[in-house]
Structure 1
């Protein structure tokens, strides 16, 4: 039975039993306590908590999920995946255990011909929570399952929550016995590989608090009603019904895995290590495809980092499999899109954009590997110079945090150079970063309590009526007053307050446009200075500010007025953003899609997809084209229409953005037409001037243009003109000749620096002949020991040692020892010729002798080695220690 048919059959069964079929929500969670949707119940969480009234009492869905807590187990087990689809049926205060358990049993054990999955009842096992006698009784008496196939388990296994504060409850899990070939007898408590979990029935009746792990958290109390939340992993069910050993061999993941094997030339099933890598690739490519389709882009923070980590694990494993630097992600992404396209048609519609993001990240990681490897090599060299064999945990963290190096890659590269990594420090830094992120998230006060306040206001007062397209001020009624996250009903002078009005001229920050500022005044009684406006819940405008004077009370009639000069300046920036977008598309083609923006008063930034930077000529062309449009003074028109009609008109939609049925189109005749809810100018001439400041990279395949608009642009042009005038005067050159004059000065400076470096190196090496001529014989070995002048670099010391060794030749054993203090710490270099090595004198061992005297360590090859320590005063003693070791040979 194909995966798509399993999903269709599940939904059909519950729809027949009175459930509303709800489409999958985006992987980008609306819940601010989560980065990504990690369970099928996440979109229904406000209903379970009683924050919102559900529009139905029964629902069923196939929800896209991403969970990375067990990412290191992906590929190693038969059931772990980072992306999975959760089939679920939900009851909101309707049926409870007595309904959920029989529903599950009927669907699982009914014949395929009758719309079920055809499981053999004699191969089914269940678990229930320790004290859940009610669930066990239903399984035994209503379903007829023998008592010896019902097992009780503790909180870690049979009590479910999302891992964060929210709804929770005991659960009953259903398992399928795959037979003795898969493991030991004894039910799920004995072997969860043989007894594979297929369905989890969660009896959602409690609310949990803060805590860690699966057991260490308090139960705060009961939910407003008893609910049902079930989850059946679509991939696990497909593995069973398709008769394969694991989820990676099903009809969807299996296609990606087989193509990865073809591309890398590795046979699946021949080697466990390569099999794990192939499974990781198959899972991660599909996960990345689904994340990008929902608008996530690779980055160094939050969900962008999740995507980047997944993509880079894929690329790393592909390179381990193929043994080269081939680019395979485009091909594999195409397979993933085709495999999942029947269930999610939007994948095929957005295929070009998905490819653009993933291809760019693959290329970026290839560049990053080169840059990161250079950083690693420098850090490894620094480690050896210090006499240590332990690679710094801080350097490992920097490789991870800045270059996206998985720690296992750093461990492998360190081992190749005879170094071990300070993993303890690395993990401490990782934990510190996680804790900082948690503190930051908590400081935003976006937990369940705050959401419930906003949700109640939205439910009782309805969505905020936005007047700002046509009005800059107006009368409104106060629906809610919130202080410190709680609805207080009143706020007084000095209070930081959040106000919810029934209508407002204030624009709430969205679509890259910053929020309006202004005042909310109660006639004769109080004034609030509005500093920010947000929409924590769709449709609800929350005005954040400080009570400057008096007080404000719920049900007050107020006068809301925005700062019109600021609004006009921000609107000019927003309109300029649309124009720059069109100019970039004209210059680079339709692949230059919007990837983010920010519109401030007089200033903007615009992020766009591109695999290469713009050169100076392209930047100048974009700037000129935009200003030509300003000179034409094109009228800006607005219309509201359906999404389909807007797209038919050629309006651009932001990739990954979710739009409703009705959308607003901002139309600048034939030059620019986009879906946009922001505020804009009436005609392009009102922008005055647009000055592009420059272009830079902000991530894999994403570039950023920054620009000034209006008076800010004019001031910048005036400042630059004055600076050029000063340079022209100082260099005594006309303005048009400044680039050539400055180029010539820079060239002379670089040539001088190279000459200084050459002379310095020559000065060090000029003593090589004298040192070789004065070599002493110790026990039949020609030995040279030399202390360099302080400040001589370790690299020059190494060159000197090799030069002297070369002059000594190979006719007799020879050892050269050069030591010095390049900076604050001493360094020693030992070079041994082949005859010395044959007689048992190896450079790696001798450098260790010297380094230990210096208070450090070191090592290297038998012919050349380097070490160091911390005791600069012991350099002469270290040289003598090497001579003594040679004498003993």
Structure 2
């Protein structure tokens, strides 16, 4: 039974029993305590905590999940994987233990012909929490499971939580006996390879607090209602029904593994103890990581150096490096990712429709990693050569921060050479860098990172009445004032403060749009609004500089948005939508936005694309954008359900979480239709004009365009016109002849440079011949040691080649910043190697023929030291 069919039967079973089928949430978690959704119940957490009222009392889903805590174990065992799918049925204050147990039993034991999974009831075991007599009784008395197949286990095994404060409760796990060929008898406690867990029924009735581990946390109270949260591992059930050994061999994973084996010439599982053989481990890593990367990019995650993007980057690079260790040095992802797409598309058709964007991000990251490997590996090898015991944290941090060499790869390569890395020290340096960056960013915003005081204001005074769409002016009351994060009763002249109003017309920074600027005016005070933020949902804060008088708590103020600022912001945000639509019109739907920022008169937009845009393509995009302005497309704002927005093709930023009712902004109808909360013009012509100012790479598979709008676009084009006029005057040519005239000047410059290089080569050749003729004889080896201001590598090779090939020769060229040693074939035949000689007098790297390193501490005397070293080492 294919995995997609396992999924279909599960949803059909529960839909027939009154459950609402809920689509999988995106992998990037809305929960701030998580990077990714790591369990099927995560999207339902607010319902279980009583924070939100669920729109249904019963639900079923097949949720995409990613767990990376055990990423280093992936492939080493057949039970660990990063991406998996969790079938789940949920009850929010409706049914509880008995119904949950009945529903599960009916599905897994019903015959295939009746829509079930057809498992042998005599091979199913159940575990319960050691104190849960009710669940044990239900399995024994209602289902009829023999007492010897009901196992009681402790909190670590049978009391479930997300690993963070939140809903929790006792659970009952289902296991299937796969037979004696998989292990010894005795139930799950004897062998969990033979007795495979496939479903966990969680009786969610408590809230847990902070703690570590699976059992070291307090229960802080009961939930508002008793809930059911079950999780059936889709891949595990597929393995059982497909008769394969593990999750790497099901139909959604095995084809990737097989393609990797084919490319590398390996045979998976050909050896005894295959779980531990390095080749089989690496093939499993490839299969798991390629599929995980496909799903993460499909949900909008892009490779980066922080957060979710770093996890994706690490997964992609581990897959690529595993292929290299298996002997495949060519680009691997173009061979593997399409296979992953074909295996997953039956369950997730959007992967096929959006594959061009997904592939662009993945292939670009592999290209970048291959370049990183070339540059960073040489530096790491040099550092490891000089390491005894543990690589210093400062070296690992420099490799990461300067060259993009990931710490996990540094650790892996060092371990292969029997060396450690000071990882705690590296983490400390990374944390310090993050603290500085966070402090700098926070200082530019509210100056206050702790949201606790803001939450107290929200609880006491209620949410801010936000009127940015309706007006530029409000009469408001000051509800709170903070200075340096501390609540105060007033802010005097000249001070910076964060002010909370009961109602505001100011747009708070969000969705890529910068916040509004303007003023707060009281009867005897004025404050300039510098920044507007939403530190918590429902509350708007204003960072102000008091420029006259004193702003006091409880004062009535007039909040006034600068109308010119707002106009420029509206032009820029609508311009962002227009540029996005123009890019998709010219390049195709794969050129999908992955981030944006706009402020009055300026916009930048990041989008998925590999390779730079030619001047002709840039001009075409710019023209398409301005044609839309000339046509004066209407800009319409509509509110609708999220499902309806998706149905009509509204574009959303990947990875974002949206409410059920969303705001859709259309420019020219379907030409540009996006989910957006920003401020916009009423018609496209009000943008004025759009001028693209730059286009560049901002990461693997991502490009960035920058543009100016409105009056700023006019000023930009005026400056360009003036610049052309000045250049035309300086070169003495009409404007329309500038390209040809400048091309002729450049060609003349190249001719002069070529002549200079020719003369320099002649001089170097003459110098080389002179030095070669004066070579010293050191134990039968021609030795030249010389100081030079020229290129030491070129000179050393020239001198070496000027000495007869049959005569052993060593040449050392000492420049102000480096030492180069060149050795000919005859000298290598006498046991001399350039890299060995270099390490004998200093440090550096290279091969047997040429090596290079920094100037040794002995300085110019190193040339004499080398002569002695040659004499001692020559065979």
Same fold (TM over 0.5): yes
Aligned to 2:785: 787
Q: CA deviation at 1:885?
A: 0.9
SS at match of 1:196: strand
Task: State the secondary structure of the residue aligned to 1:229.
Answer: strand
Q: For each residue in 1:798-851, what CA deviation from the matched residue of structure 2 results, as whole angstroms up to 9, or x when unmatched?
A: 4156325xx2432x6x2425263541x6x36252544x555xx3123x864664
Question: Partner residue of 2:250?
Answer: 250
- Structure 2 counterpart of 1:818: 812
Deviations along 1:377-406, one digit per CA (max 9) or x if unpaired, are 764797799999999987776776677766
CA contact (8 A) 1:380 1:391 kept: no
Cross-structure match for 1:570: 569
Kindly indicate whether residue 38 of structure 2 is the aligned counterpart of residue 33 of structure 1: no
- Give CA-to-partner distance per residue, 1:385-429, whole Å, 9 cap, x none: 9999999987776776677766787799999xxx96976157743
The answer on 1:842 being equivalent to 2:840 is no
1:431 to 1:204, Cα distance in 2 relative to 1, 3 A:
farther
Distance 1:429 1:281, change over 3 A: same
Counting only pairs closer than 5 Å after superposition, residues 281-430 of structure 1 correspond to structure 2 as 281-315=286-320, 317=322, 323=328, 325=330, 329=334, 333=337, 336-347=340-351, 351-352=352-353, 354-365=354-365, 367-369=367-369, 371-376=371-376, 379=379, 424=421, 428-429=425-426
Q: Is the 8 A contact 1:91 1:227 kept in 2?
A: yes
Cα deviation 1:512-562 (Å, max 9, x = unaligned)? 33333456789999989583243855xx46344459655556xx9986543
Contact 2:783/2:811 (CA < 8 Å) preserved in 1?
Answer: yes
User: How many angstroms does 1:569 deviate by?
Assistant: 0.9
Give 1:435-584 correspondences, 5 Å limit: 467-474=467-474, 493=491, 499=500, 505-518=505-518, 529=529, 531-534=531-534, 537=537, 540=538, 542-545=540-543, 549-551=550-552, 561-584=560-583
CA distance in 2, matches of 1:322, 1:203: 49
**1:338 shift after superposition:** 5.0
Correspondence for 2:445: none
Give 1:213-292 correspondences, 5 Å limit: 219=218, 221-225=220-224, 227-258=227-258, 268-270=268-270, 273-292=278-297
Contact 2:508 2:533 in 1 (8 A): yes
* Deviation by residue 1:547-588 (Cα, 9 ceiling, x = unmatched): 9655556xx998654332221110111222233334334433
Give the 3 Å change call, closer, same or farther, for CA 52–169 of structure 1 in structure 2: same
Q: 1:623 maps to what in 2?
A: 622
Residue 604 of structure 1 and its aligned partner are, at CA, apart by 0.9
Instruction: Pick closer, same or farther for the CA change 1:408–1:65 going to 2, 3 Å.
Output: closer
1:809 and 2:829 matched: no
- Answer with 442-451 or 666-675: which moved more: 442-451
Q: 1:729 to 1:243 in 2, by over 3 A?
A: same
Post-superposition offset of 1:161: 3.9
Distance 1:3 1:123 in 2: 22
Q: Structure 1, residues 344-378: CA drift from partner, whole Å, max 9, x if none? A: 4544xxx34x2222332354245425533552476
8 Å contact 1:794–1:822 — kept in the other structure? no
Where 1:575 maps in the other structure, the secondary structure is: helix
TM-score normalised by L of structure 2: 0.80
Distance 1:714 1:98, change over 3 A: same
* Matches of 1:864 and 1:100, distance apart in 2: 72
| Match of residue 794, structure 2, among 793, 796, 804 | 796
Count of residue pairs the alignment pairs up: 854
Decide whether the 8 Å contact of 2:788 with 2:813 is kept in 1.
no
Structure 1 179/456 Cα, relative in aligned 2: closer, same or farther at 3 Å? Answer: farther
Distance 2:636 2:557 in 1: 31
Work out whether residues 838 and 852 of structure 2, in 8 Å CA contact, stay in contact via their aligned partners in 1.
no
Aligned 8 A contact 1:505 1:561 in 2 = yes
Aligned twin of 1:713: 713
Q: Name the SS of the counterpart of 2:577 in structure 1.
A: helix
Q: Deviations over 1:206-254 (max 9, x none)?
A: 6556666657x75373354465433221111211222110112223333
Label 1:34 to 1:438 Cα distance change in 2 as closer, same or farther (>3 A): farther
Residues 399 and 695 of structure 1: is their aligned pair in 2 closer, same or farther, counting only changes over 3 Å? same
Which residue of structure 2 aligns with residue 86 of structure 1? 86
Deviates more, 1:73-82 or 1:754-763: 754-763
Greater mean alpha carbon deviation, residues 704-713 or residues 394-403: 394-403
Q: Secondary structure at the match of 1:608?
A: strand
Q: 1:721 to 1:210 in 2, by over 3 A?
A: farther
Quick check: 1:534–1:541 contact (8 Å CA) kept in 2? yes
Residue 368 to residue 541, structure 1, CA distance change in 2 (3 Å): same
Contact 1:83-1:287 at 8 Å conserved across structures: yes
CA distance in 2, matches of 1:278, 1:381: 26
- RMSD between aligned residues: 5.1
**Cα shift at 1:769:** 4.3
Classify the secondary structure of the residue corresponding to 1:711: helix
Q: Distance in 2 between matches of 1:705 and 1:247?
A: 42
Find the counterpart in structure 2 of residue 683 from structure 1.
Answer: 683
Aligned pair in 2 of structure 1 residues 461, 121: CA closer, same or farther (>3 Å)? farther
| Structure 1 CA distance for aligned equivalents of residues 130 and 757 of structure 2 | 76
Q: In structure 2, the residue corresponding to 1:788 is in which secondary structure?
A: strand
Q: Matched residues in 1 for 2:551 and 2:707: separation?
A: 41
2-structure distance, mates of 1:120, 1:104? 14
Is the aligned partner of 1:875 residue 2:867? no
* CA positional deviation for 1:43: 1.1
Deviation (angstroms), 1:591: 4.0
- Report Cα offsets for 1:730-757 as digits up to 9, x if no partner: 5566555555565556556666666666
Q: For the Cα contact (< 8 Å) 2:59–2:90, is it kept in 1?
A: yes
For 1:121 and 1:228, the matched residues in 2 are separated by 23
Confirm or deny that 1:594 pairs with 2:593. yes
Unaligned 5+ residue runs, structure 1?
Answer: none
Please give the alpha-carbon distance, in whole angstroms, between the structure 2 residues aligned to 1:708 and 1:72.
46
| Distance in structure 2 (CA, Å) of the matches to 1:860 and 1:617 | 45
Normalising by structure 1, we get a TM-score of 0.79
In structure 2, how many angstroms separate the alpha carbons of the residues matched to 1:623 and 1:646?
28
**Deviations for 1:296-337, whole angstroms, at most 9, x for unmatched residues?**
3344443233334434444555666683636764x7555545
What is the aligned partner in structure 1 of residue 872 from structure 2? 885
For residues 878 and 762 of structure 1, what CA distance do their matches in structure 2 show? Answer: 31
- The 1-side partners of 2:815 and 2:4 are apart by 69
Partner residue of 2:695? 695
Residues 650, 664 of structure 2: 8 Å contact kept:
no
**Aligned-pair distance for 1:782?**
1.8
Q: Does 1:831 align with 2:836?
A: no
Question: Could you tell me how far 1:630 is from its partner in structure 2?
Answer: 4.2
Instruction: Check 1:431–1:358 CA distance in 2 against 1; reply closer, same or farther (3 A cut).
Output: farther
SS of 2:787's partner is coil
Alpha carbons of structure 1 residues 37 and 362: separation in structure 2 relative to 1, 3 Å: closer
* Whole-angstrom distance in 2 between the partners of 1:447 and 1:100: 42
Structure 2 alignment gaps of length 5 or more? 443-447
CA offsets 1:147-194 (integer angstroms, 9 cap, x no match): 686254564x55544344444456554433333322345554554333
User: Does the CA-based 8 Å contact 1:603-1:707 persist in structure 2?
Assistant: yes
Q: CA deviation at 1:706?
A: 1.0
